[in-house]
């Protein structure tokens, strides 16, 4: 990517009402633009980060045999009356068609669509399990949305739903998904700060599970049990049954501020019953189908990474989701031919690289590179060329380590 | 892809109120599921086709230096009052936040967001041109939505906006975009039936341009001038000025039924004026910025391809957007090992291939393959193995031609 062709503008300071660090840094680095409170446009750099997070999640969902689909955000009232959730759910944007007078809402969750959908694919036990997921912009009429990117009114979510013949199959598959979730957070680079957290399970099961990432800005509180590498949220930590089950009175728990980046709910038969989703077992008998659902807040993840890893002034992207791996900066214009040669060499190897060919000073480009946070800066100058035709200076952003390297060996 | 793991069910007939051929065939082939009138879920096969169309468009947009961004669908009333379009536009879903009492709409177009956004990136002539685009689910409160997939209430659209220093630069860039559009429709496989069509330009220019694809189900009518390979829509064909300009009274025009799959509007200063988007030229003088916008109806394209190319019973996908290139079918179970070998060989070469490992008969699988329309069926049987260890039968779907081929040579 030639930076002269990229829609990019960074800001030293922003005069906005943004209080949250992640939104401030995302705006300053040219990743997002604020349209109004808690509604943002993703700029090209922000798109790149989001796509990388999305692709990591997609890869892992596909690896546990989940099928990608896309369900409508616009949903009619009728399906939701069947489960009684039309009146019950708050945070919904509801409206009526001017022409047809049909009542709609924009739904942040899809049980009322996915359950009757999957019902069409299930006749016998041979048709189970079924697992589907989607990436979708969700809409939420937020009462309070104080943490910038952490709570958008419109945000990308991955929601996944699985359907099983019985509790046992559901429990086995849950372990597979749990492992996929752990791989996702590890690959993104927040695995060391993201903990499986026991939460209240609602009507149909004892527990649900949340994935909570530790950061100062977090609005949630978890109680971390290091020995077992699990945590408990504050809904259930005072529950005497829970305390007994995990022997919590005799354990050391660490209290941490966190953001919820994912959750897993055991729905059991909560939705398969009202929609009568059943299958015939191998004796021909009809049985009810069991469900589980798995969410990841993709948009919120981007903000959470920043909240968890930034320092006083800068975003610190994990390499896997940084917008580019390298940026190439020439000390003077006369080295621009050499810079282009390095650029082409890396591009030919499918390396993600940006060439800063803008009509700006060296130091402006270096500052910009720090703000955007490329994992590596490649500097081309008389000093590097003096060391050999193919030699460049590579500066690692996080350690500050500098090396003179033959650029043809980079990957 | 193992078909046993794919969410897939085809239907011989559908008992639905679907009148349109494209929706019928998409439902029968397991590409989409209907949630309610003109609102559909994309199933895995439908997702694959849509992603292929999307990627062809993305590649061509990137090739003309357009930057991919994502603007909110949820937009506040305030920006739209500035251009007077809040009351003026019909087809909008409008609603009020329960908590904040802010009035929103879901916008099918983004001039009121993109214009003040790009304003922030423009100071001098050096910052021009700027081009951005997005893929986004749009929502429309349709009065009539009679052609199934052709008019969804919720649909994916690519919208692109360019900003220029003057008319001349805008006109030059328009030619670049026009060429990109032609490449897009050619790559998708509908180039021979898609015509650049002159339409009314609105307040700010004489003409706008539509890309119209010929098919029986089309709701538009165009008048095609073969000699120049352009067409005129029925808004302007009777205009005496137009007739004179193109000497239409002395030309042979063919009347055709069509679907609009793309359009290009010259906005000139219609939006840059109310938002005061200006730049300083090289003498330091302030000048107004010129705009153009470019849309493609991605969802509608999928339906249009089917309407334009199906025969009596089947979808006919152009190879570039078929969900898979090959399907492998074994005549008996005993050849399943050989089928897996062929599958692995193709997968290793990144070829898009499906292995039909479902617990179904050979003829069921062959029928399904016809309905889904894989460009090539690979058949593994005693007959093929008798001809050599690596020999398979390859049947081209469109011609019916059969060849015995060494599978290691396939790509």
Between chain A and chain B, the number of residue pairs with CB atoms below 8 A apart is 130
**Strand, coil or helix: B313:** coil
Closest chain B C-alpha to A135 CA, distance in angstroms: 11
- Cβ contact, residue pair A113, B41, below 8 Å: yes
Q: Name the residue among B6, B65, B121 with its Cβ closest to that of A9.
A: B121
Q: Please name each of the domains of chain A with its CATH number.
A: 19-309 (3.30.930.10), 324-409 (3.40.50.800)
DSSP state of B217: T
φ/ψ of residue B63, rounded to 5: -70, -20
Alpha helices in B214-270 (DSSP H): 240-245
**Strand, coil or helix: B328:** strand
Q: Between these two residues, B263 and B154, which has the higher pLDDT value? A: B263
* Cis peptide bond N-terminal to A25, omega within 30: no
SS (H, E, C) chain A: CEHHHCCCCCCCCCCCCCCCHHHHHHHHCCCEEEEECCEEEECHHHHHHHHHHHHHHHHHHHHCCCEECECCCEEEHHHHHHCCHHHHCCCCEEEECCCCCCEEEECCCCHHHHHHHHHCCCCEHHHCCEEEEEEEEEECCCCCCCCHHHCCCEEEEEEEEEEECCHHHHHHHHHHHHHHHHHHHHHHCCHHHEEEEEEECCCCCCEEEEEEEECCCCCEEEEEEHHHCEEEECCCCCCHHHHHHCCHHHCCCEEEEEEEEEEEEEEECCCCCCCCCEEECCCCCEEECEEEEEEEEHHHHHHHHHHHHCCCCCCCCCHHHCCCCEEEEECCHHHHHHHHHHHHHHHHCCCCEEECCCCCCHHHHHHHHHHHCCCEEEEECHHHHHCCCCEEEEEECCCCCEEEEEHHHCC
- Section A60-80 average pLDDT: 90
Contacting B residues, span 333-362, partner chain A, CB-CB under 8 Å: 359
Q: Which of B128, B223, B118 is nearest to B168 (CA)?
A: B128
pLDDT higher than threshold 80 for residue B244: yes
pLDDT tens digits, one per residue of B58-112: 999 999 999 999 998 888 788 788 888 877 776 777 778 777 777 877 877 899 9
Q: What is the pLDDT of residue B168?
A: 93
Strands A207-214 and A391-396 come out as unpaired
Q: Which residues of A touch B40 (CB under 8 A)?
A: 72
Q: What is the pLDDT of residue A15?
A: 66
**Residue B40 is encoded by which pair of tokens?**
């559909």
- Cβ contact, residue pair A97, B132, below 8 Å: no
Q: Between these two residues, A199 and B150, which has the higher pLDDT value? A: A199
- Non-local (6+) Cβ contacts of B147 within 8 A are B20, B22, B23, B217, B219, B303
pLDDT higher than threshold 80 for residue A233: yes
- Cβ contact, residue pair A69, B41, below 8 Å: yes
> B311 pLDDT band (50/70/90 cuts)?
confident
- Cβ contact, residue pair B117, A75, below 8 Å: no
Rounded CA-CA distance B25/B231 in Å is: 29
Closest chain A C-alpha to B324 CA, distance in angstroms: 15
**Residue A315 is encoded by which pair of tokens?**
């975003």
Q: What is the pLDDT of residue A122?
A: 97
Rounded CA-CA distance B133/A47 in Å is: 12
Whether A288 has its CB under 8 Å from any CB of chain B: the answer is no
pLDDT tens digits, one per residue of A86-138: 777 767 777 787 777 888 778 778 999 999 999 999 999 999 999 999 999 88
Q: Which residues of B touch A50 (CB under 8 A)?
A: 70
**Strand, coil or helix: B148:** helix
> A143 pLDDT band (50/70/90 cuts)?
low
φ/ψ of residue B29, rounded to 5: -80, 0
pLDDT tens digits, one per residue of B144-190: 655 566 677 788 999 999 999 999 999 999 999 999 999 999 999 99
Angle ∠(B327,B329,B334) on CA atoms, nearest 5: 150
Rounded CA-CA distance B346/B353 in Å is: 7
Q: What is the pLDDT of residue B82?
A: 81
Contacting B residues, span 215-274, partner chain A, CB-CB under 8 Å: none
Q: Between these two residues, B206 and B56, which has the higher pLDDT value? A: B56
pLDDT higher than threshold 60 for residue B28: yes
> B375 pLDDT band (50/70/90 cuts)?
very high
Q: Which residues of A touch B119 (CB under 8 A)?
A: none
Query: Mean pLDDT across chain B, nearest whole number?
Result: 91
Angle ∠(B134,B138,B144) on CA atoms, nearest 5: 145
pLDDT higher than threshold 70 for residue A77: yes
In contact, B404 and B393? CB cutoff 8 Å: yes
- Non-local (6+) Cβ contacts of A240 within 8 A are none
Whether A101 has its CB under 8 Å from any CB of chain B: the answer is no
Strands B391-396 and B376-380 come out as antiparallel
Closest chain B C-alpha to A130 CA, distance in angstroms: 8
DSSP-based helix, strand, coil % in chain B, nearest 5: 35, 30, 35
- Section B315-336 average pLDDT: 92
> A81 pLDDT band (50/70/90 cuts)?
confident
**B30-66 burial, b for 16+ CB within 10 Å, e for fewer?**
bbbbbbebbbbbbbbbbbbbbebbbebbbebbeebbb
pLDDT tens digits, one per residue of A259-307: 999 999 999 999 999 999 999 999 999 999 999 999 999 989 999 999 9
pLDDT higher than threshold 80 for residue B16: no
Strand partners, A41: A33
Mutation target for B interface from A35, A298, A358: give the one with most B CBs within 10 A: A35
In contact, A354 and A324? CB cutoff 8 Å: yes
> A145 pLDDT band (50/70/90 cuts)?
low
Q: Which of A301, A198, A320, A209 is nearest to A259 (CA)?
A: A301
In contact, B83 and B111? CB cutoff 8 Å: yes
Contacting B residues, span 2-61, partner chain A, CB-CB under 8 Å: 5-7, 9, 33, 35-36, 39-44, 46-47, 50
pLDDT tens digits, one per residue of B337-358: 899 999 999 999 999 999 999 9
> B312 pLDDT band (50/70/90 cuts)?
confident
Closest chain A C-alpha to B93 CA, distance in angstroms: 7
């Amino acid at each position: 990517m030639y930076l002269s062709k990229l829609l990019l503008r960074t800001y030293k300071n922003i005069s906005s009402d943004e209080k949250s660090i992640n939104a401030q840094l995302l705006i300053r680095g040219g990743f997002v633009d604020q349209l109004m409170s808690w509604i943002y446009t993703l700029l090209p750099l922000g798109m790149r980060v989001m796509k990388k997070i999305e692709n990591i999640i997609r890869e892992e969902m596909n690896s546990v045999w989940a099928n990608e689909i896309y369900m409508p955000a616009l949903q009619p009232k009728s399906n939701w009356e069947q489960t009684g959730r039309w009146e019950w759910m708050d945070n919904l944007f509801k409206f009526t068609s001017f022409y047809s007078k049909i009542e709609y809402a924009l739904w942040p969750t899809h049980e009322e669509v996915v359950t009757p959908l999957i019902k069409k694919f299930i006749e016998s036990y041979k048709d189970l399990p079924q697992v589907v997921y989607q990436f979708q912009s969700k809409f939420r009429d937020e009462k309070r949305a104080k943490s910038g990117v952490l709570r958008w009114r419109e945000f990308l979510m991955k929601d996944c739903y699985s359907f099983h013949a019985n509790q046992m199959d559901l429990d086995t598959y849950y372990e597979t998904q749990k492992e996929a979730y752990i791989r996702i957070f590890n690959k993104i680079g927040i695995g060391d700060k993201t903990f499986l957290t026991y939460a209240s399970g609602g009507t149909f099961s004892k527990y649900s599970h949340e994935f909570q990432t530790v950061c100062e800005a977090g609005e949630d509180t978890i109680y971390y049990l290091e020995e077992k590498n699990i945590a408990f949220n504050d809904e259930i930590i005072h529950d005497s049954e829970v305390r007994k089950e995990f022997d919590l009175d005799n354990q050391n728990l660490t209290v941490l501020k966190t953001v919820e980046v994912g959750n897993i709910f055991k729905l059991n038969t909560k939705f398969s019953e009202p929609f009568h989703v059943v299958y015939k077992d191998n004796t021909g008998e009809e049985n009810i189908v069991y469900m589980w659902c798995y969410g990841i807040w993709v948009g919120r993840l981007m903000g959470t990474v920043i909240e968890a890893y930034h320092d006083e002034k800068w975003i610190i992207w994990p390499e896997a989701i940084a917008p580019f791996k390298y940026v190439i900066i020439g000390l003077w214009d006369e080295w621009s031919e050499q810079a282009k040669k390095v650029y082409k060499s890396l591009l030919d190897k499918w390396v993600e690289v940006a060439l800063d060919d803008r009509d700006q000073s060296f130091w402006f480009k270096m500052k910009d590179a720090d703000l955007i946070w490329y994992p590596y800066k490649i500097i081309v100058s008389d000093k590097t060329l003096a060391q050999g035709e193919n030699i460049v200076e590579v500066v690692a952003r996080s350690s500050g380590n500098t090396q003179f390297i033959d650029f043809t060996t980079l990957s």
